């Protein structure tokens, strides 16, 4: 096994075990992080002039946004918030397509900025486990309304 294959195998095990042990809130955070990493890889590929790697990285970011973040929205219960997030995710995917066609790093930066803002907002609504009130006393949070539970 080559060192690159070993590193990839190690990374996949780390991701797989992280996903297996993550709660729904953490899974959404991981999707944001994965999309941001894919965009960073796309920018690096553009800088190197590596067109196939650029396409692969941008396709990966689009897949995470469309099949991960957008698909996990609960649009029936989440109301306007879920619908607005869905529209924003569709906009991001469109901008990523544009970035792929024209090697547009400004479009990549725009999507990364939007994802970072959403990721920070998502992470700010997480209550620490030690101070989480009992279920009966806990108010309904946006995360319960917006994203489907697994």
Domain coverage including residue 60: 23-124
Q: Is residue 116 part of a domain?
A: yes
**97 within 8 A of 108, measured Cβ to Cβ:** no
Place of tokens 């095990």: 13
Q: Considering Cα of 136, then 26, then 129, then 84, what sign does the dihedral take? A: negative
Long-range contacts formed by 89-95: CB under 8 A, 24+ apart: 89/65, 92/65, 93/62, 93/65, 93/66
Q: What's the CATH code of the domain at 45?
A: 1.20.120.340
Q: What three-state secondary structure class fits 132?
A: coil
Per-residue pLDDT tens digits for 3-56 = 444 444 444 444 454 555 567 888 999 999 999 999 999 999 999 999 999 999
Question: pTM higher than 0.75 for the full model?
Answer: no
And the tokens for 39? 């965009």
């Amino acid at each position: 096994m080559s060192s690159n294959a070993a590193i990839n195998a190690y990374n996949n095990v780390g991701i797989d075990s992280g996903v297996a042990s993550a709660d729904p809130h953490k899974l959404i955070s991981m999707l944001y992080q994965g999309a941001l990493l894919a965009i960073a890889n796309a920018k690096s590929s553009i800088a190197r002039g590596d067109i196939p790697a650029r396409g692969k990285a941008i396709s990966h970011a689009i897949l995470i946004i469309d099949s991960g973040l957008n698909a996990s929205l609960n649009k029936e219960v989440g109301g306007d918030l879920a619908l607005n997030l869905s529209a924003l995710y569709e906009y991001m995917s469109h901008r990523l397509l544009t970035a792929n066609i024209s090697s547009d790093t400004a479009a990549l930066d725009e999507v990364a900025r939007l994802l970072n803002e959403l990721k920070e907002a998502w992470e700010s609504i997480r209550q620490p486990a030690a101070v989480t009130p009992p279920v009966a006393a806990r108010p309904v949070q946006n995360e319960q309304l917006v994203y489907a539970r697994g």
